[in-house]
Structure 1
Amino acid sequence: MFGDMMGMMNKLKETQEKVEATKERMKSVLIDEQSGDGLLKITITAAREIKNISIADELMEDKDQLEDYLVLTLNKAIKRASDINEAELAAVAKDGMPDIPGLDQFK
C-alpha cells in the first residue's frame, strides 16, 4: 500500500509539472480573431494576453462604433483563448490522474 501511495504521489508531482509546462506553452500559442468585416483584428495568446490590435482607418472616425467592435472582438478572442487553455489543461490533468480505487465511478 505504501508503494502505491508513493507511486500516486510521484504521478501527481509529474502531472503538476506537466500542467505548469502547459501553462507556459499557452503563452506562445497565438490566436487571431477579427470582426465580421475584418476592420478590427486582434491577436491574443491562449494564456489570454493581448499581443496585437489592428484597427482599420475607417473605424477611427466613429468612436462608438470602434468601442463596440473592440468589446465584441475582444470577447470572442478571450472566449477562444479560454476554451483552448481549458481544453489543454484538462487533457494534461486527466492523463496524469493516478488510479485511485473508487474514484472511477466519477469519470
Structure 2
Amino acid sequence: MFGDIMGMMGKIKETQQKIEETKKRLDTVLIDEQSNDGLLKITLTANRTVKNISIDESLLEDKEQLEDYLVLVINKAIAKASAVNDAELGAVAKDGMPNIPGMDMFA
C-alpha cells in the first residue's frame, strides 16, 4: 500500500516538473493575430504575454476606432493562446496523473 502511495507521489512530482517545463516552453511559442484588414497586428506568447503590437498609421487618426481594434484583436489573440496553453498543459497533466479510482478529472 505504501509503495503504491509513494509511486503515485513520485508520479505527481514528475508531472509537476513536466508542467513547469511546458510553461517555460510556452513562453517561446508565439501567437500572431491581426485585424481583418491587417491594420493592427499583435503577437503574444502561448502564456498570454504581449510581445508586439503593430498599428498602421491610419488608425492613429481615430482614437475610438483604434480602441475597438485593440479590444477585438487582443481578445482573438488571447483566445488562440489560451487554446494552445490549455491543450499543452492538459496533455501533460492527463498523461502524468496516476490512475486513482474515482478521480477521473481529465476524462
Secondary structure at the residue paired with 1:103? Answer: coil
Using structure 2 for the length normalisation, give the TM-score: 0.93
Question: In structure 1, what residue type is equivalent to 2:27?
Answer: K
Identity %: 70
Structure 2: unaligned runs, 5 residues or longer: none
Is 1:30–2:61 an aligned residue pair? no
Tell me how far 1:69 sits from its aligned partner: 0.3
Tell me how far 1:6 sits from its aligned partner: 0.9
Counting matched residue pairs gives 107
Tell me how far 1:104 sits from its aligned partner: 4.9
Question: Structure 1 residues 102, 72: CA separation in 2 closer, same or farther (over 3 Å shift)?
Answer: closer
Using structure 1 for the length normalisation, give the TM-score: 0.93
After superposition, residues 34-45 of structure 1 pair within 5 angstroms as 34-45=34-45
RMSD: 1.5
Structure 1: unaligned runs, 5 residues or longer: none
Distance 2:30 2:14 in 1: 26
Question: Structure 1 residues 23, 103: CA separation in 2 closer, same or farther (over 3 Å shift)?
Answer: same
